Amino acid sequence: MAKIPTSAFLAHLKSLYPSSASTSAAAARNPWFIVAAVTFSSLNRPEAVPVILKHTMQGLDDNDGKLHIVRGMRDALFKSGLHQGYPRAINALVSLYEATPVELRDTKPLRDTTLSTEELTRRGRTMFAQMYGETADEVQTMLDAVFPDFGFFSNTIGYGYTYSFCDVLSPKETSFALIAPLVTMNTPRQLKWHMQAAVRNGATKEEVIAARQIALDICADAGVAWEGDLPALD
């Protein structure tokens, strides 16, 4: 039976992310729970997600704060599905849904489902350029070369429909949600890409290293070790 994370372990994970405020509102903005939920999901431990939800909601009395947490976890799991794989993301989303109070469940899509393919492609290119900076053309060319269908999918569906929506997660938080599964899967090339993207999306180097460390500590607790050297953050 999988080990359920303790309150002490979750408090440790939260403490890894730099924060100068101690109010409940500030705690809700600390994205540690996003990284933790995605990491546990990527390890196929969806039973940990409701525990993270309960721990993060402690001390919050207002529904707006609670909705911020639930939607943040939900969107992080959805966005990270393109990295961790949707079978695992679905398991985690189901666990989250079952633990979510009825009044905090969304019943309609948050994204605009009427956008044209052309508009999604435009948004995707903008988001891709923002995240990859001066390497955007090089990476897009590689994706188009290895399989043109994948290049289109990445641009239009991945970045256009999925990642560019930032009404729930900020671009920085989106990057953190994408970093976590890359740690669990031991993919240094992609991890470096998205660590650099997090900086371009407004994160400090300290915050990026903290997000990565949260994922590493969860992996270590689960007996999953990183192989080789960790990519440096230039």
The model's pLDDT over 208-228, given as tens digits with 9 standing for 90+, comes to: 999 999 999 999 999 999 999
Note the pLDDT tens digit of each residue in 111-135. Answer: 999 999 999 999 999 999 999 999 9
1 plus 38 within the same structural domain: yes
Q: Which two tokens stand for residue 22?
A: 């101690």
Task: Report the chain's mean pLDDT, rounded to a whole number.
Answer: 95
In a domain, 56, yes or no: yes
Note the pLDDT tens digit of each residue in 54-66. Answer: 999 998 989 999 9
In a domain, 196, yes or no: no
- Least reliable range by pLDDT among 10-24, 51-65, 100-114, 144-158: 10-24
176 plus 160 within the same structural domain: no
Nearest residue to 41 (alpha-carbon basis) of 94, 100, 1, 114: 94
In a domain, 198, yes or no: no
Q: φ, ψ for residue 21 (rounded to 5)?
A: -110, 155
105 plus 115 within the same structural domain: no
pLDDT given at position 29: 81
176 plus 65 within the same structural domain: yes
Residue 178 has pLDDT above 80, yes or no: yes
What average pLDDT does range 128-146 have in this prediction? Answer: 97
118 plus 96 within the same structural domain: no
Note the pLDDT tens digit of each residue in 3-15. Answer: 899 999 999 999 9
In a domain, 148, yes or no: yes
What average pLDDT does range 176-190 have in this prediction? Answer: 98
How far CA 55 is from CA of 7, 9, 52, 121, in Å, comes to 7, 11, 5, 38
Q: φ, ψ for residue 222 (rounded to 5)?
A: -90, 0
In a domain, 197, yes or no: no
pLDDT given at position 19: 80
Task: Report the C-alpha gap between 144 and 142 in whole angstroms.
Answer: 5
**String of DSSP letters for the chain:** -PPPPPHHHHHHHHHHS--S--SHHHHHH-THHHHHHHHHHHTT-TTHHHHHHHHHHTT--SHHHHHHHHHHHHHHHHHHHHHH-HHHHHHHHHHHHHHS-GGG---S-SS-TT--HHHHHHHHHHHHHHHHGGGHHHHHHHHHHH-HHHHHHIIIIIIIIIIS--SSS-HHHHHHHHHHHHHHTT-HHHHHHHHHHHHHTT--HHHHHHHHHHHHHHHHHTT-PPPSPPPP--
In a domain, 6, yes or no: yes
Range of the domain at 85: 1-109+171-190+204-234
Residue 24 has pLDDT above 80, yes or no: no
Q: How many Cβ atoms are within 10 Å of 197's Cβ, its own excluded?
A: 25
Q: Specify the number of domains making up the chain.
A: 2
In a domain, 199, yes or no: no
Task: Report the C-alpha gap between 122 and 159 in whole angstroms.
Answer: 10
175 plus 102 within the same structural domain: yes
Residue corresponding to tokens 């009044």:
103
pLDDT given at position 228: 93
- Least reliable range by pLDDT among 21-25, 89-93, 130-134, 218-222: 21-25
Q: φ, ψ for residue 174 (rounded to 5)?
A: -60, -45
